[in-house]
Amino acid sequence: MRRDALVDADLPPAMMIHGLGGSSLNWTELAAELRSDLSVELIDLPGFGYSAPPRNGDYSISAHCRAVEGAILSLRKGPVHLFGNSMGGAVATRLAARRPDLVRTLTLISPALPDLRVRPSVVPTALLGVPGVGRALLRMSRNMTPEERTRMSIAMMYGNPGAVGEKAFADAAAEYRRRLELPYMMDAFSHSTRSVIGAYLERGSRALWRQAAEVRASTLLVYGRRDRLVDPRMAKRATETFPDARLLVVPDSGHVAMLEHPRVVARGFRELLDGALSPSNVVG
């Protein structure tokens, strides 16, 4: 699993986990904001970014969880401040519940926690996880340019797509072009989508909401009011479920607050550390 780092040995360690279809690049702005606070490890989950696909083809939430666990243990620095976005939020939640000794604090940005109320905007992504259907949809989109794909992705992910600058757009399109050339890109996306859907349906000790209730670490929950993928109304249930949770709602943000409003998220994290962030609804 590939890792990038903004390392300062004198600062407490942190690890940031991207979401479905993302990469470590999703965290560069927030990591830069926190460079004087944390020694940050940015990781590409297996099959994403610059990481090779898993040899056994396992893209499940639990498999990603094991990969992150191994990365933390390899640091040999003790527990980390763990961050997760979307699918990465589900991975981080499961890891924090299973290995409380490895997690100092937990920061979840639009975490993909089970919500059986299907939002229309989520349907196209969910279909990618249906065997056969996902591949057909991806084949149908082959005629789209990387720029068109990037524009569509930004429109879905951002609360204010027009705020994305020319350089950021060009960089994102270049990364999309690179991924399209990877022979395993289609499998990584479709199988990971299927794993998220599967995690939504898990019951018993593996149920994500049950695991959320078992998290011991102080938790910052960040939701964007303009999120088209994770319903911001889930913030209430999340705040009531995580035992030691603080809530930060960003009115102008979509699904990726760490990209859209890194300073707001960084401030929320610092306030979590200082104990200054109220457990009640906080608007950034």
What pLDDT digit, counting tens, does each position of 143-155 carry? 788 898 899 889 9
Residue 201 lies in a domain: yes
Residue 103 lies in a domain: yes
Helix residue ranges, H only, 99-213: 123-127, 133-140, 146-157, 166-180, 185-201, 208-213
Beta strands 39-43; 13-17: pairing state: parallel
pLDDT (0 to 100) of residue 142: 66
Strands annotated E in the chain = 3-6, 13-17, 39-43, 80-85, 103-109, 218-224, 245-250, 281-283
Task: Flag whether pLDDT at 15 surpasses 60.
Answer: yes
Question: b/e for 220-249, b at 16 or more Cβ within 10 A?
Answer: bbbbbeebbbbbbebbeebbebbeebbbbb
- Give per-residue pLDDT as tens, 220-229: 999 999 999 9
Residue 160 lies in a domain: no
Residue 198 lies in a domain: yes
Residue 243 lies in a domain: yes
Residue 14 lies in a domain: yes
Residue matched to tokens 């979590």: 272
CA distance 74 to 150: 34
Residues 6 or more apart whose Cβ sits within 8 Å of residue 212 = 93, 97, 113, 238, 241, 242
**Domain range holding 21?**
3-117+192-274
pLDDT (0 to 100) of residue 183: 84
Residue 122 lies in a domain: no
Q: What CATH number should be reported for the domain holding residue 201?
A: 3.40.50.1820
- Give per-residue pLDDT as tens, 192-208: 888 888 888 888 888 99
- Count of residues making up the chain: 284
CA distance 142 to 140: 6
How many structural domains does the chain have? 1
CA distance 208 to 112: 9
Mean pLDDT score, 244-256: 96
Nearest to 212 by CA among 136, 130, 103: 103
Mean pLDDT score, 238-259: 97
Residues 6 or more apart whose Cβ sits within 8 Å of residue 32 = 6, 262
Burial class (CB in 10 A: 0-12, 13-18, 19+), 99: middle
pLDDT (0 to 100) of residue 158: 95
Name the pLDDT band for 126 (thresholds 50, 70, 90): very low
* Sheet with 218-224: strands ordered across: 3-6, 39-43, 13-17, 80-85, 103-109, 218-224, 245-250, 281-283
Q: How far is CA 93 from CA 39, 105, 188, 256, in A?
A: 21, 11, 21, 17
Task: Flag whether pLDDT at 90 surpasses 80.
Answer: yes
Residue 261 lies in a domain: yes
